[in-house]
Amino acid sequence: MKVFTKRTLTSIVYVLVMLALCLLKWVVPGVMINGNNQFLGSLGFDALFCAIAVIASMEFVDAVNYSSDKNGDKMRVSPVQKVFTVAFCALIVPLYVAIEVFMPSEGFLACACAFAVYAAFIAGTSVFDHGNSTVKGAICCIFIMLYCGVLTALFSAINHLPRNSMLAIISLIFCTMFTDAGAYLVGKSLKRFVPLKLAPKLSPNKTVIGAVGGLIGGVLGGLLAYVLIMCFGGMEGGEAWLVSFNSGVFFTFTSTAIHPIVSIILVSLVTAVMVQIGDLFESAIKRECGIKDMGKLLPGHGGVLDRFDGMLCCGIIILFCFGTIII
């Protein structure tokens, strides 16, 4: 019960922070830069994503330093490599946002160039500082830059979509939360009746019935996000209950071949699958590293990576669907 209380309190704080950031994104007006309206309220989410990238990368590097391979050899990451890795993850979100503000559609190109430069530095340190690091550790650092840095930059890309950015952000948050909650509650309640394990070697407590509950929860989370947007904002160009200076917070849907609710359900279903894959993937990482949690920053949850692992894996789905399909 003590752990459950900690998890509940942490979740309440998490929800309050997300609500505050959503309100900031909704009501704060923007400024005109190069003929484009850049919405200052979106920077609140960018700051959160940057913090996630930094803390997650530090947790991951420490986990790699703690681990050993099958021969018992340490996968060492030198202090210099750790600095380079964390620095990349600290700069990737601000870099993307800055480039997108002044040169729209060039943000990912800048991120790719930055990644190439940092990867070269990591490779160089594994050569010239080989006594304090290993090649396996350098490879892990490059992966951490992708996993904690580039994938987090996708969140800012979602945050700055010209259309449906608010619905996309809320869907990202709600689908992740409701998938985790659905999997936990359904799995806890019904595993005695359907005890089939989902991935017994990686996470013995996860069951197939819990995964089904996660899918249902993810769809409910996506539908709730849609209902909230329609209640408070409605369709773009229509009357809004809550006034906003940001057209991206209203709903835009131009397809005549499919109903928007059907689209939301399909996107949420795929997102829920990716959330659970991300959760299992991090379980595999922790098992390889020989640790239980990635950190202790979030009471009852563990580290930042323990809380946002599923979100990291489903960001690409949300970005693709809301950036190309739901327009």
C-beta separation of 77 from 66 below 8 A? no
| Burial (CB count within 10 angstroms: exposed 0-12, middle 13-18, buried 19+), residue 182 | buried
> What are the pLDDT digits (tens) for 26-52?
887 666 555 555 667 789 999 999 999
C-beta separation of 249 from 159 below 8 A? no
The pLDDT score that the predictor gives to residue 56 is 95
The pLDDT score that the predictor gives to residue 103 is 83
Considering only residues 238 and 57, tell me which one the structure prediction assigns the higher pLDDT.
57
Q: How far apart, in Å, are the Cα atoms of 68 and each of 123, 130, 288, 294?
A: 20, 17, 8, 16
Q: Quick check: 72 pLDDT over 60?
A: no
Q: Quick check: 238 pLDDT over 60?
A: no
The pLDDT score that the predictor gives to residue 70 is 45
DSSP calls for 187-238: HHHHTTTS--EEETTTEEEEEHHHHHHHHHHHHHHHHHHHHHHHHHT-BTTS
The pLDDT score that the predictor gives to residue 236 is 57
Considering only residues 21 and 3, tell me which one the structure prediction assigns the higher pLDDT.
21
The pLDDT score that the predictor gives to residue 120 is 93
Give the whole-angstrom CA distance, residue 252 versus residue 163: 7
The pLDDT score that the predictor gives to residue 168 is 92
Q: Quick check: 247 pLDDT over 70?
A: no
The pLDDT score that the predictor gives to residue 4 is 67
The pLDDT score that the predictor gives to residue 317 is 93
> What are the pLDDT digits (tens) for 265-286?
999 999 999 999 999 999 888 8
C-beta separation of 55 from 298 below 8 A? no
The pLDDT score that the predictor gives to residue 228 is 87
> What are the pLDDT digits (tens) for 106-161?
889 999 999 999 999 999 888 887 777 888 888 999 999 999 999 999 999 999 88
The pLDDT score that the predictor gives to residue 318 is 94
The mean pLDDT value for 2-11 works out to 76
Query: Which is it for the CA torsion 209, 212, 216, 217, positive or negative?
Result: positive
The pLDDT score that the predictor gives to residue 212 is 95
Range in 16-25, 109-118, 135-144, 251-260 the model is least confident about: 251-260
Q: Quick check: 251 pLDDT over 50?
A: yes
**Predicted structure pTM score:** 0.88
> What are the pLDDT digits (tens) for 171-229?
999 999 999 999 989 998 988 888 888 888 888 888 999 999 999 999 999 999 998 88
The 10 Å Cβ neighbour count of residue 202 is 17
Residue 74 pLDDT grade (very low, low, confident, very high; cuts 50, 70, 90):
low
The pLDDT score that the predictor gives to residue 248 is 60
C-beta separation of 283 from 267 below 8 A? no
